Amino acid sequence: MESTGLQGPLCGCRTVFLRLASLLVLLFSLWNQITCEGKAEAEECKTCGYNYKELPCWETRLGQEMYKLLLFDLLTGVAIMLLIQFPRKLICGLCPGALGRVVGTQEFQVPDEVLGLIYAQTVVWVGSFFCPLLPLLNTAKFLLLFYLKKFTLFSTCSPASRTFRASTANFFFPMVLLLGLAVSAVPVLYSIFLIPPSKLCGPFQGHSSIWAQIPESISSLPQTVQNFLFFLGTQAFAVPLLLISSILMAYTVALANSYGRLISELKRQIETEARNKVFLAQRAVALSSASGAP
Protein backbone atom coordinates (compact mmCIF):
# COMPACT_ATOMS: atom_id res chain seq x y z
CA MET A 1 0.00 0.00 0.00
CA GLU A 2 1.75 3.09 -1.21
CA SER A 3 0.82 6.73 -0.94
CA THR A 4 2.51 10.04 -0.34
CA GLY A 5 0.73 10.68 2.96
CA LEU A 6 2.03 9.80 6.40
CA GLN A 7 -1.05 10.87 8.32
CA GLY A 8 -2.02 7.33 9.30
CA PRO A 9 1.17 6.34 11.12
CA LEU A 10 1.70 9.84 12.54
CA CYS A 11 -1.80 10.05 14.01
CA GLY A 12 -1.38 6.57 15.44
CA CYS A 13 2.01 7.56 16.87
CA ARG A 14 0.46 10.54 18.63
CA THR A 15 -2.14 8.26 20.16
CA VAL A 16 0.30 5.61 21.32
CA PHE A 17 2.70 8.27 22.65
CA LEU A 18 -0.10 9.64 24.80
CA ARG A 19 -0.87 6.15 26.07
CA LEU A 20 2.79 5.48 26.82
CA ALA A 21 2.96 8.84 28.59
CA SER A 22 0.00 7.85 30.77
CA LEU A 23 1.81 4.58 31.58
CA LEU A 24 4.92 6.54 32.56
CA VAL A 25 2.84 8.82 34.80
CA LEU A 26 1.36 5.75 36.51
CA LEU A 27 4.80 4.19 37.04
CA PHE A 28 6.19 7.46 38.37
CA SER A 29 3.29 7.76 40.79
CA LEU A 30 3.90 4.22 42.03
CA TRP A 31 7.62 4.97 42.37
CA ASN A 32 6.80 7.97 44.55
CA GLN A 33 4.57 5.84 46.76
CA ILE A 34 7.02 2.96 47.05
CA THR A 35 10.23 4.94 47.63
CA CYS A 36 8.76 7.93 49.52
CA GLU A 37 9.56 10.16 46.52
CA GLY A 38 13.14 8.85 46.49
CA LYS A 39 13.84 9.90 50.08
CA ALA A 40 15.45 6.90 51.72
CA GLU A 41 15.70 8.72 55.07
CA ALA A 42 11.95 9.36 55.28
CA GLU A 43 10.22 7.89 58.30
CA GLU A 44 8.05 5.51 56.23
CA CYS A 45 11.01 4.16 54.21
CA LYS A 46 13.79 4.22 56.80
CA THR A 47 13.03 0.82 58.29
CA CYS A 48 12.58 -1.39 55.21
CA GLY A 49 13.86 0.79 52.37
CA TYR A 50 10.34 1.27 50.97
CA ASN A 51 6.98 2.52 52.21
CA TYR A 52 5.92 -0.63 54.05
CA LYS A 53 2.98 1.07 55.78
CA GLU A 54 1.18 2.14 52.60
CA LEU A 55 2.45 -0.67 50.34
CA PRO A 56 3.47 -3.70 52.41
CA CYS A 57 3.64 -5.80 49.19
CA TRP A 58 4.62 -3.31 46.51
CA GLU A 59 5.25 -6.01 43.87
CA THR A 60 1.65 -7.16 44.22
CA ARG A 61 0.39 -3.58 43.89
CA LEU A 62 2.42 -3.04 40.71
CA GLY A 63 1.12 -6.27 39.22
CA GLN A 64 -2.46 -5.28 40.08
CA GLU A 65 -2.06 -1.99 38.23
CA MET A 66 -0.85 -3.83 35.13
CA TYR A 67 -3.85 -6.16 35.37
CA LYS A 68 -6.11 -3.11 35.53
CA LEU A 69 -4.51 -1.62 32.42
CA LEU A 70 -4.98 -4.88 30.51
CA LEU A 71 -8.62 -5.16 31.57
CA PHE A 72 -9.30 -1.51 30.79
CA ASP A 73 -7.76 -1.92 27.32
CA LEU A 74 -10.02 -4.90 26.67
CA LEU A 75 -13.15 -3.12 27.88
CA THR A 76 -12.27 -0.04 25.84
CA GLY A 77 -11.90 -2.08 22.66
CA VAL A 78 -15.21 -3.88 23.20
CA ALA A 79 -17.01 -0.64 24.12
CA ILE A 80 -15.80 1.10 20.95
CA MET A 81 -17.16 -1.75 18.84
CA LEU A 82 -20.54 -1.91 20.59
CA LEU A 83 -21.18 1.76 21.31
CA ILE A 84 -19.54 3.53 18.37
CA GLN A 85 -18.95 1.31 15.35
CA PHE A 86 -22.25 -0.60 15.36
CA PRO A 87 -24.42 2.53 15.96
CA ARG A 88 -22.62 4.38 13.19
CA LYS A 89 -23.27 1.50 10.81
CA LEU A 90 -26.94 1.42 11.78
CA ILE A 91 -27.31 5.17 11.33
CA CYS A 92 -25.67 5.02 7.90
CA GLY A 93 -27.94 2.14 6.87
CA LEU A 94 -31.20 3.61 8.22
CA CYS A 95 -30.50 7.25 7.33
CA PRO A 96 -29.00 7.38 3.83
CA GLY A 97 -29.54 11.14 3.66
CA ALA A 98 -27.51 13.99 5.07
CA LEU A 99 -27.30 12.49 8.57
CA GLY A 100 -25.86 9.25 7.24
CA ARG A 101 -23.27 11.11 5.19
CA VAL A 102 -22.26 13.26 8.17
CA VAL A 103 -21.90 10.30 10.53
CA GLY A 104 -20.19 8.04 8.00
CA THR A 105 -18.95 4.52 8.58
CA GLN A 106 -15.94 3.64 10.68
CA GLU A 107 -12.73 3.33 8.68
CA PHE A 108 -10.36 0.50 9.52
CA GLN A 109 -6.94 2.06 10.13
CA VAL A 110 -4.13 -0.49 10.10
CA PRO A 111 -1.53 1.81 11.79
CA ASP A 112 -3.84 2.47 14.74
CA GLU A 113 -4.43 -1.24 15.26
CA VAL A 114 -0.71 -2.08 15.08
CA LEU A 115 0.23 0.70 17.50
CA GLY A 116 -2.47 -0.49 19.87
CA LEU A 117 -0.79 -3.89 19.88
CA ILE A 118 2.54 -2.22 20.66
CA TYR A 119 1.02 -0.43 23.66
CA ALA A 120 -0.46 -3.69 24.96
CA GLN A 121 2.90 -5.41 24.52
CA THR A 122 4.59 -2.64 26.50
CA VAL A 123 2.17 -3.18 29.38
CA VAL A 124 2.99 -6.91 29.30
CA TRP A 125 6.74 -6.20 29.34
CA VAL A 126 6.33 -4.00 32.41
CA GLY A 127 4.07 -6.34 34.35
CA SER A 128 5.15 -9.85 33.38
CA PHE A 129 7.97 -9.85 35.98
CA PHE A 130 5.51 -9.03 38.77
CA CYS A 131 2.50 -11.01 37.50
CA PRO A 132 3.58 -14.06 35.45
CA LEU A 133 0.03 -14.76 34.25
CA LEU A 134 -0.15 -11.42 32.46
CA PRO A 135 1.25 -12.71 29.10
CA LEU A 136 -1.29 -15.56 29.11
CA LEU A 137 -4.18 -13.19 29.84
CA ASN A 138 -2.92 -10.78 27.20
CA THR A 139 -2.83 -13.60 24.65
CA ALA A 140 -6.45 -14.47 25.48
CA LYS A 141 -7.35 -10.79 25.14
CA PHE A 142 -5.66 -10.59 21.74
CA LEU A 143 -7.53 -13.65 20.49
CA LEU A 144 -10.87 -12.25 21.64
CA LEU A 145 -10.24 -8.82 20.14
CA PHE A 146 -8.95 -10.35 16.91
CA TYR A 147 -12.19 -12.18 16.18
CA LEU A 148 -14.29 -9.21 17.31
CA LYS A 149 -12.32 -6.85 15.07
CA LYS A 150 -12.53 -9.33 12.20
CA PHE A 151 -16.30 -9.39 12.55
CA THR A 152 -16.58 -5.61 12.75
CA LEU A 153 -14.17 -5.19 9.85
CA PHE A 154 -16.41 -7.11 7.47
CA SER A 155 -19.72 -5.92 8.89
CA THR A 156 -19.34 -2.30 10.00
CA CYS A 157 -16.05 -0.84 8.70
CA SER A 158 -15.22 0.65 5.34
CA PRO A 159 -11.79 0.73 3.64
CA ALA A 160 -9.54 3.56 4.73
CA SER A 161 -9.73 6.60 2.48
CA ARG A 162 -6.03 7.29 2.99
CA THR A 163 -3.58 4.42 2.81
CA PHE A 164 -0.19 4.50 4.48
CA ARG A 165 3.21 4.12 2.91
CA ALA A 166 4.48 0.62 3.63
CA SER A 167 8.15 1.62 3.68
CA THR A 168 7.46 4.36 6.22
CA ALA A 169 5.38 2.01 8.36
CA ASN A 170 8.26 -0.46 8.40
CA PHE A 171 10.33 2.30 10.00
CA PHE A 172 7.74 3.73 12.40
CA PHE A 173 6.45 0.49 13.89
CA PRO A 174 9.85 -0.94 14.96
CA MET A 175 10.84 2.48 16.28
CA VAL A 176 7.74 2.73 18.46
CA LEU A 177 8.18 -0.90 19.56
CA LEU A 178 11.77 -0.12 20.56
CA LEU A 179 10.52 2.90 22.50
CA GLY A 180 8.01 0.70 24.31
CA LEU A 181 10.78 -1.76 25.17
CA ALA A 182 12.89 1.07 26.62
CA VAL A 183 9.93 2.40 28.60
CA SER A 184 9.29 -1.05 30.07
CA ALA A 185 12.94 -1.93 30.75
CA VAL A 186 13.71 1.10 32.93
CA PRO A 187 11.18 0.46 35.75
CA VAL A 188 11.74 -3.30 35.72
CA LEU A 189 15.54 -3.01 35.97
CA TYR A 190 15.22 -0.27 38.61
CA SER A 191 12.97 -2.54 40.66
CA ILE A 192 15.35 -5.48 40.33
CA PHE A 193 18.53 -3.65 41.29
CA LEU A 194 17.58 -0.75 43.56
CA ILE A 195 14.24 -1.23 45.33
CA PRO A 196 14.34 -3.66 48.29
CA PRO A 197 11.83 -6.50 47.93
CA SER A 198 8.84 -6.73 50.22
CA LYS A 199 9.60 -8.08 53.68
CA LEU A 200 6.20 -9.69 54.22
CA CYS A 201 5.48 -11.41 50.90
CA GLY A 202 6.99 -12.49 47.62
CA PRO A 203 9.72 -14.97 46.69
CA PHE A 204 12.54 -12.46 47.36
CA GLN A 205 11.74 -11.52 50.95
CA GLY A 206 14.73 -11.44 53.25
CA HIS A 207 17.15 -10.15 50.57
CA SER A 208 18.60 -6.69 50.15
CA SER A 209 17.50 -6.60 46.50
CA ILE A 210 15.87 -8.88 43.96
CA TRP A 211 19.20 -9.22 42.15
CA ALA A 212 20.84 -10.60 45.32
CA GLN A 213 18.81 -13.79 44.90
CA ILE A 214 20.54 -14.63 41.60
CA PRO A 215 24.12 -15.14 42.98
CA GLU A 216 22.71 -17.21 45.84
CA SER A 217 20.76 -19.38 43.41
CA ILE A 218 23.83 -19.86 41.21
CA SER A 219 25.98 -20.84 44.21
CA SER A 220 23.57 -23.68 45.00
CA LEU A 221 24.04 -25.26 41.56
CA PRO A 222 26.62 -27.95 40.75
CA GLN A 223 30.16 -26.72 40.21
CA THR A 224 30.14 -27.58 36.49
CA VAL A 225 27.01 -25.49 35.91
CA GLN A 226 28.50 -22.63 37.92
CA ASN A 227 31.66 -22.67 35.84
CA PHE A 228 29.63 -22.63 32.64
CA LEU A 229 27.47 -19.69 33.80
CA PHE A 230 30.53 -17.73 34.91
CA PHE A 231 32.14 -18.46 31.54
CA LEU A 232 29.14 -16.85 29.80
CA GLY A 233 30.01 -13.59 31.55
CA THR A 234 33.67 -13.52 30.56
CA GLN A 235 35.34 -11.83 27.59
CA ALA A 236 36.35 -15.24 26.20
CA PHE A 237 32.67 -15.82 25.43
CA ALA A 238 31.49 -12.24 24.77
CA VAL A 239 34.12 -11.29 22.16
CA PRO A 240 33.63 -14.33 19.85
CA LEU A 241 29.87 -13.96 20.23
CA LEU A 242 30.10 -10.31 19.17
CA LEU A 243 32.28 -11.18 16.18
CA ILE A 244 29.99 -13.99 15.03
CA SER A 245 26.93 -11.77 15.44
CA SER A 246 28.60 -8.99 13.43
CA ILE A 247 29.52 -11.40 10.63
CA LEU A 248 26.01 -12.83 10.50
CA MET A 249 24.50 -9.34 10.50
CA ALA A 250 26.79 -8.19 7.69
CA TYR A 251 25.95 -11.33 5.69
CA THR A 252 22.22 -10.79 6.21
CA VAL A 253 22.44 -7.15 5.11
CA ALA A 254 24.47 -8.07 2.03
CA LEU A 255 22.03 -10.85 1.16
CA ALA A 256 19.06 -8.50 1.55
CA ASN A 257 20.75 -5.89 -0.67
CA SER A 258 21.48 -8.48 -3.34
CA TYR A 259 17.88 -9.68 -3.28
CA GLY A 260 16.71 -6.06 -3.52
CA ARG A 261 18.88 -5.44 -6.59
CA LEU A 262 17.64 -8.69 -8.14
CA ILE A 263 14.01 -7.71 -7.54
CA SER A 264 14.62 -4.26 -9.05
CA GLU A 265 16.23 -5.84 -12.11
CA LEU A 266 13.32 -8.25 -12.54
CA LYS A 267 10.87 -5.34 -12.28
CA ARG A 268 12.76 -3.47 -15.00
CA GLN A 269 12.72 -6.57 -17.20
CA ILE A 270 8.97 -6.96 -16.71
CA GLU A 271 8.42 -3.31 -17.60
CA THR A 272 10.61 -3.71 -20.69
CA GLU A 273 8.72 -6.84 -21.75
CA ALA A 274 5.41 -5.03 -21.30
CA ARG A 275 6.56 -2.11 -23.46
CA ASN A 276 7.87 -4.53 -26.12
CA LYS A 277 4.53 -6.33 -26.20
CA VAL A 278 2.65 -3.06 -26.57
CA PHE A 279 5.01 -1.99 -29.36
CA LEU A 280 4.67 -5.32 -31.17
CA ALA A 281 0.89 -5.20 -30.85
CA GLN A 282 0.83 -1.69 -32.30
CA ARG A 283 3.08 -2.78 -35.17
CA ALA A 284 0.88 -5.81 -35.85
CA VAL A 285 -2.22 -3.60 -35.98
CA ALA A 286 -0.45 -1.14 -38.26
CA LEU A 287 0.75 -3.91 -40.61
CA SER A 288 -2.67 -5.53 -40.74
CA SER A 289 -4.24 -2.18 -41.54
CA ALA A 290 -1.69 -1.51 -44.25
CA SER A 291 -2.11 -4.96 -45.82
CA GLY A 292 -5.90 -4.66 -45.78
CA ALA A 293 -5.95 -1.24 -47.44
CA PRO A 294 -6.67 -1.32 -51.30
pTM: 0.74
pLDDT of residue 197: 87
pLDDT of residue 2: 41
Asked if 7 and 162 touch (Cβ cutoff 8 Å), the reply is yes
Asked if 207 and 220 touch (Cβ cutoff 8 Å), the reply is no
Highest mean pLDDT pick, 151-155, 208-212, 224-228: 224-228
pLDDT of residue 101: 60
How many C-beta atoms lie closer than 10 Å to residue 227's C-beta? 10
On average, the pLDDT of the chain sits at 82
Instruction: Give how far the C-alpha of residue 225 lies from the chain's centroid of Cα atoms, to the nearest Å.
Output: 35
The string of pLDDT tens digits covering residues 58-81 is 888 899 999 999 999 999 988 888
Nearest to 27 by CA among 51, 58, 50: 58
* Residue-by-residue DSSP string for the chain: ---S--HHHHHHHHHHHHHHHHHHHHHHHHHHHHHTTT-TTSHHHHTTSS-TTT-TTHHHHHHHHHHHHHHHHHHHHHHHIIIIIHHHHHHHHH-TTHHHHHH-PEE--HHHHHHHHHHHHHHHHHHTTT-TTHHHHHHHHHHHHHHHHHHHHHHTEE--SS---HHHHHHHHHHHHHHHHHHHHHHHHHHHHTSPPPSSSSTTTTSSSSTTHHHHHHHTS-HHHHHHHHHHTSHHHHHHHHHHHHHHHHHHHHHHHHHHHHHHHHHHHHHHHHHHHHHHHHHHHHHHHHHH--
pLDDT of residue 4: 41
Q: Average pLDDT in the 169-183 region?
A: 83
Domain spans of the chain, in order of start: 10-157+166-216, 221-293
pLDDT of residue 5: 44
pLDDT of residue 173: 81
The string of pLDDT tens digits covering residues 27-56 is 999 888 888 877 777 777 877 888 888 888
The string of pLDDT tens digits covering residues 263-279 is 888 888 998 888 888 88
pLDDT of residue 261: 86
CA angle 45, 50, 56 (to 5 degrees): 110
Asked if residue 125 has pLDDT above 90, the reply is yes
